[in-house]
Structure 1
């Protein structure tokens, strides 16, 4: 019995050692995973030039929003300076911005002119119709105790840097139609 007891103890300890996982290279705060989702919609006077998408995050988490321009993603907020066109106000500025809480992301356009009547059809198609936004949900304390270092390591305006840093798979992002 004295020879079997150390073997049983060794097997018992070995079981616990093998079941532990010390995966220190995973970015995250342990209670939130980074997620991406696309929202596509049209801004118009009927929706107050506002698109709303439901989300579910912790109160300490962060939302990043990017607007699709061709095959690229542009971080918002972003201001566009529209060309002067005869018959329309000069120095027109169109702003994309967003606000979020734990349950919603609201993406809006604001302008120093009437968006419903003072845009050309081409401008409306380019800036208001069927716009796609990529919403990236990330933990606020993504690097754990290295939070200050993480801010320096990630350029949040660079979509590809964010995807790489958070190890996100952007090949199968769900798309939701909003309005």
Structure 2
């Protein structure tokens, strides 16, 4: 009787341990083929006294808490290409004191952009109205394993490294 119980227990252990799920993570030439980074572009963003110089950028879908969220502002554009600056971004007076800047924080649902500074009412409208922001979402696994390999302050380096194409950017009007 003891032998039968032992055999049944052994068969039970084998059948339970065979029920595992193994995730494969394929990386080919430095590019992760099963993890997709995303970019959402928000246009017509206005930061003014009416909204407290603050605005929420609602994400098209919920992100994961492990995801890396980077927010860039279109600071300039021209024949040489667009100039994207990573937030937080600060501008200073000639004497080195803070004039104004942009900061951000985020949740899994949205990013909040804040304009802060000395005299926001007197700030040139070019810094307050019709701003364009891009939110880059890098999945946690991918970002954590290869974060040292890319300069996050350089938007073009980020999109190249994570294989983000201009045609894949989701445009969202505020």
The 1-side partners of 2:40 and 2:105 are apart by 16
Q: Which has the higher strand share?
A: 2
3-state SS of 1:132 partner: strand
Structure 2 unaligned regions, length at least 5: 1-23
The 1-side partners of 2:40 and 2:84 are apart by 13
Aligned residues of 1:67 and 1:133 also touching (Cα < 8 A) = yes
Task: Give 2:69's aligned residue.
Answer: 63
The 2-side partners of 1:143 and 1:134 are apart by 17
Within the alignment, does 1:136 sit opposite 2:158 as a pair?
no
Structure 1 unaligned regions, length at least 5: 1-20, 85-89
Aligned residues of 2:42 and 2:132 also touching (Cα < 8 A) = yes
Which of 139, 155, 167 is the matching residue for 2:151? 155
Which of 88, 113, 119 is the matching residue for 1:107? 113
Cα distance change, pair 83–46 in 1 and its aligned pair in 2 (3 A): farther
Within the alignment, does 1:78 sit opposite 2:89 as a pair?
yes
The 2-side partners of 1:108 and 1:65 are apart by 12
Please report the TM-score for the alignment, with normalisation by the length of structure 2.
0.71
Listed one character per residue, the Cα deviations across residues 145-165 of structure 1 (whole Å, up to 9, x for unaligned) are xx1xx1221111111111111
Cα distance change, pair 134–57 in 1 and its aligned pair in 2 (3 A): same
3-state SS of 1:137 partner: strand
The 2-side partners of 1:114 and 1:43 are apart by 13
Cα distance change, pair 102–142 in 1 and its aligned pair in 2 (3 A): same
Within the alignment, does 1:33 sit opposite 2:36 as a pair?
yes
Cα distance change, pair 141–79 in 1 and its aligned pair in 2 (3 A): same
Post-superposition shift, 1:176? Answer: 1.7
Post-superposition shift, 1:82? Answer: 5.0
Task: Give 2:125's aligned residue.
Answer: 124
3-state SS of 1:171 partner: helix
Post-superposition shift, 1:58? Answer: 0.5
Range that drifts further, 44-53 or 75-84: 75-84
3-state SS of 1:141 partner: helix
Aligned residues of 2:71 and 2:135 also touching (Cα < 8 A) = yes
Number of matched pairs = 141
Aligned residues of 1:77 and 1:95 also touching (Cα < 8 A) = yes
